[in-house]
Amino acid sequence: MSEIVKTDAVVLSKLNYGDTSYIVTLYTKEFGKISAIVKGARSPKSKIGLVTDPLNYIQIVLYKKDSRELQIISSADLISNYTSLKEDLDKLKYSQAILELIKKLTVEHEVNNRLYKGIIRILELLNSSDEAPVVLFGRFLFFFITELGYELLLDECSVCGRSIAGENELSYNFGIGILCHVCRKEKAESYLFNLELFNYLVCLKSSKKIKVTEQLAEKANTFMENYLKHHIPDFKGIQSLKIFK
C-alpha cells in the first residue's frame, strides 16, 4: 500500500518516459536518492514539468511504496532554481559535476543528512559566492569523499606514522596513503605531492576563502578524482567536466 509523504529534494536528472511523462532522479532529505515518475509533465500546460528540472531545489509530495522501484510524484513546488548559477557556464559545469557524483556514487534509499545539507550548501555557494567555482567544487569533492567513507588522511605518513608538518618532499600512493620524504623513496608507484598542493588540500577542510591559482585548484580536483577512481573501480571519472571543455 502506498503512503503519501512530503519531502524536500534536489533534482539530479530527468529523462523522457512514454509520450507525456518524465522519470526524475532525486536526492531527498528523508529518503536519500530515489527515482520517481512525473506523469503528464511533458504537457505544454504542465507546471510540474519545469519545476522538476535538474539542479532545482524543490518540495514534493510522493505516493511512496517501498516495494516499487519508481515512486510517483503527485505535486512539486519550487524552493530555489539557482538562477545565477545556471547563467554562468563555469558554475554550471561544476554544478553538473556535483549532480553526476551524487547520482553515480550514492546508494539508493540510503539517508545521509550531512550529505543532503552539503548538496544544498554547495549549490547556494555556487549560486551566490564570489569564490572561484573550481575551488568551491574542490571543497565539495573533499567533503564528498569523506562522506563516502574514503577520507583523505593528511596528518602523518601512512607507512612510518611520523608527522609530515613542514616537510617539502611528499608523495601519495593511492593504495597506501601519504608518504614522508623517507618512505616515498621506497615506493616507486606514487603521486608526487608538492607542499603547495598538500597545503591546499588541507585548506579545503576549512570554511575560509582560499586564494589559489586555477591551475593548482584543477590539479587538486584531478588528484581527488583519481583517488575516487582508485577506490571505486567502476567509477570512470567525472564526465560532466569533459563535456564542458
Residues 24 and 143 occupy one common structural domain? no
Lowest-confidence range among 112-116, 129-133, 160-164? 160-164
Question: What gap in Å lies between CA 230 and CA 236, rounded to an integer?
Answer: 10
Question: What gap in Å lies between CA 147 and CA 172, rounded to an integer?
Answer: 21
Please name the residues in contact with 13: beta carbons below 8 A apart, sequence gap of 6 or more: 24, 25, 54, 99, 103
Give percent of the chain above pLDDT 90: 65
Amino acid at site 191: Y
The pLDDT of residue 244 is: 67
> Could you read off the pLDDT of 138-195 as tens digits, one per residue?
999 999 999 999 999 888 898 899 888 777 778 888 888 888 888 887 766 666 778 8
> Could you read off the pLDDT of 192-229 as tens digits, one per residue?
778 888 889 989 987 778 889 999 999 999 999 999 99
Q: Of 65, 81, 97, at which residue does a domain stop?
A: 81
Please give the residue range of the domain that contains residue 224. 86-152+191-243
- Contact between 179 and 170 under an 8 Å Cβ cutoff? The reply is yes
Q: Of 81, 104, 134, at which residue does a domain stop?
A: 81
Residues 105 and 202 occupy one common structural domain? yes
Confidence of residue 1 (pLDDT cuts 50, 70, 90): low
Question: What gap in Å lies between CA 147 and CA 112, rounded to an integer?
Answer: 9
- Total domains in the chain come to 2
